[in-house]
Structure 1
Amino acid sequence: MSSGNYSFKELIREIPKAEIHLHLEGLISVDTIWNLVQENHLEFDGSDSKENLKKRFNVNSLDEFISLFLNVIQSSFRKEQDIVHLITDAQNYLVRNNIVYAEIFFAPSKFVQSGFSFPHMADILEAGSKKIFEESNITVKFLVDVSRTFGPENAEQNLDLVINNPRKSIIGIGLGGAESKGPAADYKAVFERAIKNNLKVVAHAGEDIGPESIWAALKDLNVDRIGHGISAIQDEELMTYLKDNQIPLEICPTSNLFTKKYVQKIEEHPIKEFYNRGLYVTLNSDDPTLFSSDLCEEYELLYENKIFTEDEIIDIMKKTVYAIYADEKVKKAIWKKAEKVIKKYR
């Protein structure tokens, strides 16, 4: 129990929250994949039973995770309309965690290569965003992934698709995939063009490569935020730069524990050191289904292991709200509602 007659879990669940590092495909439930397997008559290792399918989700490295992402999850979709299932699972997740504003990555490359129509997919995302807002009063925006997995030429093609198919819910691009697949500099032209077209730009960096990857994302891509960024702890100059420029770090502790690249246990995670030094820390879940940890559980993990106090957790919640791609009026409105809940409990 926290101070007062309430539990920390109750407080965290009831506070309206934002999440800014979240993959749409990582929200899909095993039940949904199983339904798609049956509906689309799919055959792959693990497709013979729901139990074996669940076992496919037990991966032990970032490379295995990306393989699962591409070869099981995305491969289960055989037509554009299947993506509606992703919207449904996303809505359920957001409601369950009382997330009122979310910016979600969507990776279209494999779908487009399979013959899916990007305009049709964009329409589904737009309709899904509208549906979630109308039914649950939750704002959802999308960042289209230009993954290192598929290379710079594919990234250019994805950017063309975004520019040529504008939708209110699609607000920018994000560089994802394993950092080892290619340096940020390879995508400089893509990001320059995205910025010229008034798109928001973010990049995964410092997740499985050292601080040089973060520097490259900042200097070569001019990103607004850094996805993960945990290897910044190795570079004093970089930490000073991140602090001075208040560049939001989209930190996902359970995801980092899973990859085990830089963090073996939660006590080793640099998030507290970043916070203590004044870096801009936000908290996110990354891929809730795959890592079996939702946003509320991320906050609980940090609190229950005494990484942060309740006041510090609330401050990180506020920082996450103020890192969203929305005007100040929207941010203030969200946090005003949060403060009402906090006042009720405390």
Structure 2
Amino acid sequence: MSDRDPDAPLTEEDLYEVANLPKVELHLHHEGAAPPQFIRGLAREKNVDISKVFRKDGSYDFQGFLHFLSVYEAATSVLKTPDDYACLTTAILEESAKNGVVYTESFISPDFCGGGDVEAWRDYLHAIREAADAAERDMGITLRGVVTCVRHFGPEQAKASALCAAETAGDWIVGFGMGGDENKGKQSDFAYSYDMAREAGLKLTTHAGEWRGPSEVREAVEALGVIRIGHGVRAIEDPALCEMLAERDVVLEVCPGSNVVLGVYKSLRDHPIAKLKDRGVKVTVSTDDPPFFHTTMRDEYVNLAKTLNWDASVFRDLNQTALDAAFCDGATRDAVAKRLEIS
């Protein structure tokens, strides 16, 4: 507990402490974390013209969520081989480690890594794991994988992703989730895939309550049995749902910077993360697709600190929540706890 007056303005020393805390991130899309310079370089190597997805300053260029998805998939299109994904993994973890992340869970889709074929997926996964192991040794950052299906690719395609997840479940592939366009279909359409992943021992999450309202979050919990929700911020519109999330210990993977850039909320001051927390809902902080949204984990922490007057003690609590909600095994959790200096 901090003895600081919560109403006192933060000092530069307070902000420095917040910025430099070790961090746990639970919501990171593997391809969405690709630095634009990495993707541009790969496109040049492969003689692929994706210049339209970049602004003049070299950053990703999109307007709104659906355009973001199309730019995301265009950028992903140059990632063709397991070696490409190994290099991508190294680039992602270098950037995360620079921002103090000591543990991250990344959403990785077999749709982009082998087209949903189990044996091809194994090849991609092997390359990603080798790069992750090297990063853990050299940078002190631990990565675990959460296999994701893509909602707008449909329920049948999701079954192929779930099979890939089930066939490689273990100490590294630790969860199953769903991303993509939340306005396509229903959460319950994907119950078969989630049942397959659950039977394989994987822990479950899904994107919900970013674009659709609180009923989407409720359906995700009740139809799919998830224990985490990607985003979930629209739950704030239903007090009874907030109560249910708190009672069931469902954890929200909140990405404030992403929500503001994409227009879910007008500004960080309008964002409901503090209200959700005050209602007893367990919240964590992540970046989602950081280079797309011009953010880092350090930026997320500092911006929230400035906006909400949260000091380092609040972020230590959020990190504890994130570590408790991580899908990894106990030995990994204990090792990460030491890095966070959590007793």
TM-score (norm 2): 0.90
- Give distance in 2, aligned partners of 1:199 and 1:129: 20
Matched, 1:301 2:307: no
Match of 1:222 in 2: 225
- TM-superposed CA distance for 1:3, in Å, is 8.8
Contact conserved, 1:122 with 1:167, CA < 8 A, in 2? Answer: no
Letter in 2 for 1:54: G
- Give distance in 2, aligned partners of 1:317 and 1:207: 22
Q: Secondary structure at the match of 2:61?
A: coil
Contact conserved, 1:84 with 1:124, CA < 8 A, in 2? Answer: yes
Matched, 1:156 2:162: no
- Give distance in 2, aligned partners of 1:184 and 1:174: 11
**1:107-150 per-position Cα deviation (integer Å, ceiling 9, x unaligned):** 23144349992121111122122112221222110111111021
**1:176-232 per-position Cα deviation (integer Å, ceiling 9, x unaligned):** 111101210100111011101101111000011011111111011101101100110
Match of 1:117 in 2: 120
Match of 1:99 in 2: 101
From 274, 278, 285, the equivalent of 1:283 is: 285
- Structure 2 matches for 1:19-34, cutoff 5 A? 19-34=25-40
**1:206-263 per-position Cα deviation (integer Å, ceiling 9, x unaligned):** 01101111111101110110110011011111000011112111000011102213x1
Matched, 1:255 2:250: no
- TM-superposed CA distance for 1:333, in Å, is 5.0
- TM-superposed CA distance for 1:308, in Å, is 3.0
- Give distance in 1, aligned partners of 2:39 and 2:294: 16
Letter in 2 for 1:14: N
Q: Secondary structure at the match of 1:123?
A: helix
From 12, 17, 20, the equivalent of 2:18 is: 12
Q: Secondary structure at the match of 1:153?
A: helix
- TM-superposed CA distance for 1:334, in Å, is 3.6
- Give distance in 1, aligned partners of 2:38 and 2:283: 33
- Give distance in 1, aligned partners of 2:329 and 2:17: 26
- TM-superposed CA distance for 1:43, in Å, is 2.0
- Give distance in 2, aligned partners of 1:52 and 1:157: 38
Q: Secondary structure at the match of 2:52?
A: coil
- Give distance in 2, aligned partners of 1:51 and 1:266: 24
Q: Secondary structure at the match of 1:171?
A: strand
Matched, 1:207 2:210: yes
CA 1:309–1:138: 2 relative to 1, 3 Å: closer
RMSD of aligned C-alpha atoms? 2.5
Contact conserved, 1:126 with 1:167, CA < 8 A, in 2? Answer: no
Match of 2:3 in 1: none
Matched, 1:134 2:140: no
**1:249-290 per-position Cα deviation (integer Å, ceiling 9, x unaligned):** 1000011102213x1111111111111111101111111111
Match of 1:41 in 2: 47
From 62, 71, 90, the equivalent of 1:68 is: 71
Greater alpha carbon shift after TM alignment, 16-25 vs 158-167: 158-167
- TM-superposed CA distance for 1:9, in Å, is 3.9
Contact conserved, 1:272 with 1:308, CA < 8 A, in 2? Answer: no
- Give distance in 1, aligned partners of 2:197 and 2:55: 43
| Identical-residue share of aligned pairs (%) | 27
**1:75-119 per-position Cα deviation (integer Å, ceiling 9, x unaligned):** 112333211221121121221012111111012314434999212
Stretches of structure 1 that go unaligned for 5 or more consecutive residues are 342-346
Stretches of structure 2 that go unaligned for 5 or more consecutive residues are 1-7
TM-score (norm 1): 0.89
From 37, 61, 83, the equivalent of 2:85 is: 83
Contact conserved, 2:34 with 2:91, CA < 8 A, in 1? Answer: yes
**1:35-67 per-position Cα deviation (integer Å, ceiling 9, x unaligned):** 1111100023438xx764836x13221111110
The number of equivalent residue pairs is 335
Matched, 1:192 2:195: yes
Q: Secondary structure at the match of 1:290?
A: coil
CA 1:248–1:41: 2 relative to 1, 3 Å: same
- Give distance in 2, aligned partners of 1:203 and 1:42: 32
Contact conserved, 2:43 with 2:50, CA < 8 A, in 1? Answer: no
- Give distance in 2, aligned partners of 1:294 and 1:230: 20
CA 1:307–1:214: 2 relative to 1, 3 Å: farther
Contact conserved, 2:256 with 2:300, CA < 8 A, in 1? Answer: yes
- TM-superposed CA distance for 1:325, in Å, is 1.7
Matched, 1:231 2:234: yes
Q: Secondary structure at the match of 1:37?
A: helix
- Give distance in 2, aligned partners of 1:53 and 1:111: 29
Q: Secondary structure at the match of 1:322?
A: helix
Letter in 2 for 1:153: E
- TM-superposed CA distance for 1:340, in Å, is 7.6
Higher percent of residues as helix = 1
- Give distance in 2, aligned partners of 1:33 and 1:212: 37
Match of 1:344 in 2: none
Letter in 2 for 1:253: P
CA 1:53–1:300: 2 relative to 1, 3 Å: closer
Match of 2:313 in 1: 311
